[in-house]
Chain A
Amino acid sequence: MKLSVKIFLSMSISAFISCILILGMILNKNYNTNIQNENKRIIESFSSIANNFEENFQKYKNVKPEDILHTYNSFYSNEEFRFIYIDENNNENIPKEKNNIPEEILTVKNDAFVSKIVQEEDNYYVYVSTSFNSDISKKIVGIKDITYIYENQSELKIYGIIIISAATIFITLLSFIISKKLTKQLEHIADGAKKISSGNYNVNFKEGHDEFGKVSEAFNKMVDDISSRTNELINLVESKQTFIDNLSHEMNTPLTTIQGYAEYIERANISPENQTKYLQYIQEESKRIKDIYKKLLLLSYKKKNDLEIINHDFNLIIEEVEQQVSQKLSEKNIKLIINNKLNNLECDKTLVQLAISNLILNAFNVSKPNSQIIVNCYEDTNKKIEVIDFGIGISQENIDKILEPFYRVDKARARENGGAGLGLSICKNIMEMHNGSIKIESEIGEGSKFILIFN
């Protein structure tokens, strides 16, 4: 059975039963009180009537008791109160009613009062009797019609049923709405969970202070976590795919050249000079593949325990880098300015030198002839090495991607320089191995600044 039906049924049934119980109790109590009060009232008025009758009975000895009673009967007929006189021989003055008078009413003694309620067909009567003060063998019986109390009672019952029905309908409606509302929240959560499992993370559960609100809150957090983790995975897969695509392109291009020229030399009838030229092409491209291969090894170099991190004299490190790049820089007559304020650096010397020279060669590639490259080494919050060029600069869009393997801002130009687009990725990897990071600032047309930050 659905939860909403359960809530709805249990609420309506319990409301219905409690309404009936309460109403029954109230009606019963009301009835008893009414009967008691009426009885009391009847006995009170009867006692004064009986006294009065006895007095008159004594006073007018020559008048028949029936006639005296007749006066009373006609006087109280409006109140549906009738009286019967029973003499010492138990002779009633109205014999036809004798059978109806209950026995215990007739056995009354002294001046006590006895009363009893008797049902006759649809009517209810109170029988009340007492004996004369002067002669206990003579009795007077009062019969009062109290049907109206029963009529009131049944009228009240009808009222009660109407009220119960109305209350039950109201409570049923209310419980229906409440149960719907409660289960709707549950259904909402269930629907959301279905969406999530089908991969749609665009789900927001309404949070609140009750239990449902807390469940929703927990669900929202779960959705956030799942979607961010899924996105991470997707990004990872995508970047892997991009890496593989790029790698296959980078490897296929020199392979095509090698295979093509080898085939050409084999098949075509060519001059010795051309043959030498094409063999050179093959050698160059083989070198390119070797270069990419070496760089890929560096890029996959991830384990920290492979590193040799010791304290090095930084002056020595930077001097060696300067020597390594000076030949290349002279090709475009570029001046290298080094401002070193670092004395020592804890690092793997070879790798850090590779990172710095990569940055300098990168700067060289984008610099105009006769310009300069500045290297600032200093310590503020961290030890930092800055490489600044005054070349073409990098757009913001490219800054975000430039550290990705094989990414090249200007494909054709980088290829001419022999780059495969791995240098900066390697720098990033080297910095990560040193628990450091790499930061790039650039302005189109102004130049760029690459900062290696050591922690």
Chain B
Amino acid sequence: MKKILIVDDENKIRELIKLNLELAGYNCIEAVDGDEAIKKIEENPDLVLLDIMLPGKDGYEISKKFVEKNIPIIFLTAKDSTLDKVSGLKLGAEDYIVKPFETLELLARIEVVLRRYNKEDDIFKYNNVEINFKERTVTKDSEIVELAMQEFELLETLVRNKNLALSREKLLELAWGYEYLGDTRTIDIHIQRLRKKLDWDNVIQTVYKYGYRLEIK
């Protein structure tokens, strides 16, 4: 499990990020200010979400400590001027997310940064099913399950956002991209096939009048 350090002085925001990240399968550690964040470097986080406006030492100031240790930084901030973004990225940050943000966007960006750092989990395992994202293969009870490309992409989206309900539109967008001109019912069809092939009737849950959620306990 990847370890993510959340640095924000707002308790509620920290808690919110933590809740979401834990659902998505990340391990979270927290810090309320710059000094505590520096101490938490010892716990070797794989990535740090860093608020810029912090009491005491601000985010810019402590960012170099993380850069030195080759820990990727994503700035989280209410400042959204281009100048702020540029100075943040120049300091070696990997990305820059302006508050208020959408949870799915945050998760997607974390994933991209981790992939860039080759820190992404290549293999996801749940009970008797194993998914290898690198080789794009799925096995059930060690036997290869044949999946169409679209089915695999849909499965990957569900796994990456596990425990979060995704609307059919969102699934379309995340799995196959904006340009995909499909009916949302295509999603239903592919979900049915995935459930059947993986025997995941209870794992891929229908959220009434909304979409689907991959329920991993």
Chain B residues near A415 (CB-CB < 8 A): 9-10
CB distance from A134 to the nearest CB of B (A): 127
Q: Is the CB of B55 within 8 A of A411?
A: yes
Known pairs A252-B78, A267-B165, A412-B55; A260 contacts B10 (CB<8 A): no
Interface residues on chain B, number (Cβ under 8 Å): 29
Interface status of B163 (Cβ within 8 A of chain A): yes
CB distance from A247 to the nearest CB of B (A): 10
Interface status of A171 (Cβ within 8 A of chain B): no
Q: Is the CB of A249 within 8 A of B103?
A: no
Interface status of A266 (Cβ within 8 A of chain B): yes
| Docked CA distance A257–B102 (Å) | 11
Segment 76-115 of B: residues with Cβ below 8 Å from A: 78-80, 98-103
Please count the residue pairs between chain A and chain B whose beta carbons lie under 8 angstroms apart in the complex. Answer: 77
Interface status of B123 (Cβ within 8 A of chain A): no
Known pairs A253-B13, A412-B32, A415-B9; A267 contacts B100 (CB<8 A): no
| Docked CA distance A267–B207 (Å) | 9
Interface status of B53 (Cβ within 8 A of chain A): yes
Q: Is the CB of B215 within 8 A of A264?
A: no
Give a binary string over A228-269; 1 marks a CB under 8 Å from any B CB, 0 the rest: 000000000000000001001101110111111101101111
Q: Is the CB of A256 within 8 A of B100?
A: yes
| Docked CA distance A256–B80 (Å) | 14
Interface status of B46 (Cβ within 8 A of chain A): no
Q: Is the CB of A257 within 8 A of B163?
A: no
Q: Is the CB of A264 within 8 A of B100?
A: no
Segment 358-385 of A: residues with Cβ below 8 Å from B: none
The closest CB in chain B to the CB of A260 belongs to B16
Q: Is the CB of B16 within 8 A of A249?
A: no
- Sample of 7 further A-B pairs with CB below 8 A, known A251-B78, A253-B99, A259-B102: A256-B100, A256-B101, A259-B101, A260-B103, A268-B163, A268-B165, A411-B9
Report 9 cross-chain contacts, Cβ distance below 8 Å, ordered by A residue: A253-B10, A253-B99, A256-B16, A260-B13, A260-B103, A263-B102, A267-B213, A269-B163, A410-B55
Hey, which bits of chain B sit against chain A, CB under 8 A? 9-10, 12-13, 16-17, 19-20, 23, 32-33, 53-55, 78-80, 98-103, 163-166, 213, 215
